[in-house]
Amino acid sequence: MSNTLLPAPTPGLRDTVDTYIRRRGRLLAFQTNETYAAAALALGTLAALIWANIGDSYHVFWQTPTTLAAGPFGVDLTLHEWVDEGLMAVFFFMVGLDVRRDLTLGELRLPGRALLPAAAAIGGLVVPALVYLLIIGDSGGAHAWGSVISTDTAFALGMLALIGPKRAPRLRLFLLAFAVIDDIGALAVIAIFYSGSLNLVALGAAAAGLLLVWLMARRGVWRVPPYLVLGVVIWYAVYRSGVHATLAGVLIALLMPVYNVRSEDVDAAGEFTALYRQAPAPGTARMLRESLNHSMPLNQRLAFVLPPYVNYVVVPLFALANAGVELSADIIGGLVIGKLIGVVLGAGLVLRFVPASRMPGLDVPRILGLGALSGMGFTISLLVVNIALEDETLRDQARLGVLVASLAAFVLAAVIFRVTSRIWPLPAPRGETLCRPPSPDQELTFGSLDAPHVLINYADMSHEDRWRLAEALYGLQPLIDSGEVLLILRHKLSGPESLLAALALEAAGANKEPNLWPFHDAIAVLRGRISPRSITRVAREVGIDVEALWRRIDSRADEAKVLADSAEVEGLTEDASPVVYIDGRRFDQLLNRWTFSEEITRLQQAAADSGPDPAPDEADEA
């Protein structure tokens, strides 16, 4: 494999970069860990319960009036209301980013994939409200039925990581999609049923602000400050309109630009990197930073930045400001029983009557546990309690009901997951381990055949980003040269272009061409523009015998091998992206030089310690 892209960094520089990424990666792993976020929320709740029971300072503090004013414009709220209507707007903004991204790029963009979580979410919205109203009857708390319809995503994801089955990776994706639809329904309920009398002038101002956000997104505005200024204006207008101010966060987030990262934007950032490397200067550094920001869509950028602040500041503060104290059976029944019945009923009907919706790891026993877990309705439940109930005693009862319901839902889900895993265990997910062991003498290899570690890459050479992975694999050159790693190329097909490229590589390998890997790199640099003419051109450029190459391609002698390779990973990805195995285990982290190196180092350490090979940690985004 040849490096046609960048000069190789010195070993010392690479070690420095790796150390920095490793340190930042550990911090990022802590900041984005769903279990830790749930623990922070639980600690905030516990602190509130203790504080509220050691005197009057809890209520005195949170009822402290605070005013922000600028000329004729002002907001006069208590500290408690600032948390509920101000800080929680940031929380709902992050929720809105997830909703928009999932609707545009995620599971919910596919009607077939969206049907199952949509049915579960609708059941989880309707049935809990009915159970709540059935239990509470005609008493004064009936208006708070909205407190039992929503699932706290942060809590549920964190607890799923603790107690969920390990062989059901799609269960987390199902919960995320379910939570998105659940949040949409809950926010619609707040907007329709829990808003006060409307100020149409303020509502019109908010609509005008949202229109400006939409226009900016359409015009490709990618810097944060213009959106931030408009966001504050829209929040103020929504607050003055009589609609709960947190909805401003969701509405703005739904308009944030979101799309798949564009290769031309990444290439532009690479060009600025080259300019900076050639002549470092403050102006070039600034342009490089801006080009990097521009290359990542605003939705994804903000969704990466916000979680630590929301998980460890906003949501725990909300818990601290809203946890209070007597038991409320109506809310417990609605959340624990209603959510369980509603989610399982909705999902069960879809699984029964729409066979296409069935996916591995998403069977009724697992959805039963998820239905119980969805009864953890903390954040929006407490928000609705504060809006719907005026009497402080009723609020205290409802708050404690939400807390007890969340605890009961967690315990019930843990029991269900444990029992169902014993009675109906899940098989290992397809594709987690290599289905065919390597046969180096019959495959396209790069490196020592006796290397202790083998990286197998199923590649679609027509995928326009293939060259990026080729560059990442080239970063393993020191490990390859030292005999530590062997690279094996297998094939993944998405059409006739990828088949042609695969046959060309196999033909070059069968013909013992010394320039096989420069030929591979040249095809990768084509970025999907594969045709007989382009294959011939790059073959001549790297010194391949073109006539012998085409004789082998036309003979179709290697077609069965290529098709067999592709069949082994068919359906493991939804697009032409690569599938990578390291030492027989699927590698599903970011595919770059650093993550590959870290995994090889982990395997080397495990071998040196002569201990069992532990499962790799989740990817550290860096």
**Could you tell me the residue ranges of all domains in the chain?**
33-195+244-261+296-423, 198-243, 440-609
Assess whether pLDDT exceeds 70 at residue 22: yes
Quickly state the pLDDT bin for 580 (edges 50, 70, 90).
Answer: very high
Residue 125 reports pLDDT greater than 60: yes
Per-residue pLDDT, 618: 44
Q: What percent of the chain has pLDDT over 90?
A: 41
User: Measuring CA to CA, which residue among 389, 239, 412 is closest to residue 322?
Assistant: 389
Mean pLDDT computed over 475-482: 91
pTM > 0.85:
no
Judge whether residue 157 has pLDDT over 70. yes
- For the ranges 167-176, 424-433, 460-469, the lowest mean pLDDT is seen at 167-176
Residue 326 scores a pLDDT above 60: no
Segment 2-13 mean pLDDT: 56
Look at residue 355 and give its three-state secondary structure.
Answer: helix
Residue 73: enclosing H or E segment and its boundaries?
strand 73-78
CATH topology of domain 440-609: Glutaredoxin (3.40.30)
Q: Is the pLDDT of residue 223 over 90?
A: yes
Q: What residues contact residue 112 under an 8 Å CB cut-off, 6+ apart?
A: 356, 357
The lowest-confidence range among 41-50, 205-214, 256-265, 502-511 is 41-50
For 329-349, what is the mean pLDDT? 84
H or E, element range at 619: none
- In the numeric block, the tokens 């985004």 are attached to 621
What residues does 591 pair with on adjacent strands?
A: none
- State how far the Cα of 2 lies from the Cα of 517, in Å rounded to an integer: 6
Mean pLDDT of 483-512: 94
Distance CA 170, CA 154 (A): 17
- Given a cut of 80, whether residue 392 has pLDDT beyond it is no
Does 327 have pLDDT greater than 50? no
Question: End-to-end CA distance of the chain, in Å?
Answer: 25
Q: What is the pLDDT of residues 90-112, one digit of tens each?
A: 988 988 888 888 878 876 677 66
Q: What is the mean pLDDT of residues 609-617?
A: 57
Closest to 416 in 3D by CA, of 366, 374, 344: 366
Residue 3 has pLDDT above 70, yes or no: no
Residue 619 pLDDT more than 70? no
For residues 598 and 172, the model is more confident at 598
- For residues 333 and 131, the answer to whether their CB atoms sit within 8 Å is yes
Tell me the CATH number for domain 33-195+244-261+296-423.
Answer: 1.20.1530.10
Average pLDDT over residues 343-364: 84
C-alpha span between 621 and 602 (Å, rounded):
17
pLDDT band at 65 (very low <50, low <70, confident <90, very high): very high
CA–CA gap between residue 42 and residue 320 (Å, rounded): 10
Q: What is the model's pLDDT at position 416?
A: 93
Using the predicted structure, report yes or no on whether residue 173 has a pLDDT greater than 80: no
- What's the rounded Cα separation, in Å, for the pair 65 and 61? 9
Whether the Cβ atoms of residue 534 and residue 500 lie closer than 8 Å to each other: no
Assess whether pLDDT exceeds 80 at residue 611: no
Give the whole-angstrom CA distance, residue 15 versus residue 34: 30
Are the C-beta atoms of 165 and 426 separated by less than 8 Å?
A: yes
Is residue 614 very low, low, confident or very high in pLDDT (cuts 50, 70, 90)? low
- 29 pLDDT above the threshold of 70: yes
Q: What is the amino acid identity at position 310? A: V
Q: How does DSSP classify residue 435? A: S
Range in 66-70, 111-115, 158-162, 163-167 the model is least confident about: 111-115
* 534 has pLDDT over 90: yes
Which amino acid would we find at residue 287?
Answer: M
Q: Helices (H) and strands (E) in the chain — how many of each?
A: 29, 7
Under a CB-based contact definition with an 8 Å cutoff, are residues 300 and 258 in contact? yes
Q: Specify the range with the lowest mean pLDDT, choosing from 176-180, 513-517, 562-566, 614-618.
A: 614-618
Instruction: Tell which wins on pLDDT, 113 or 83.
Output: 83
Query: Poorest-confidence range of 45-59, 281-295, 307-321?
Result: 45-59
Average pLDDT of the residues of the chain: 86
- Token digits of residue 128: 């809990």
The confidence score (pLDDT) of residue 556 equals: 92
Is residue 598 within 8 A of residue 483, CB to CB? The reply is no
79 or 402, which is more confident: 79
Residues 523 and 461: beta-carbon distance below 8 Å: yes
Give the pLDDT score at 79. 92
Question: What are the residues whose beta carbons fall under 8 Å from the beta carbon of 530, sequence distance 6 or more?
Answer: 461, 462, 497, 498, 500, 501, 523
| Number of neighbouring beta carbons within 10 Å of residue 136 | 20
Work out the pLDDT band at 4, boundaries 50, 70, 90. Answer: very low
Band (330; pLDDT cuts 50, 70, 90): low
The pLDDT assigned to 45 comes to 83
What is the rounded radius of gyration, in angstroms, for the C-alpha atoms of the chain?
A: 28
3-class DSSP state of 543: coil
pLDDT band of 621, cuts 50, 70, 90: very low
Which has more pLDDT, 440 or 615?
440
Confidence class for position 291, pLDDT limits 50, 70, 90: very high
More confident residue, 237 or 103: 237
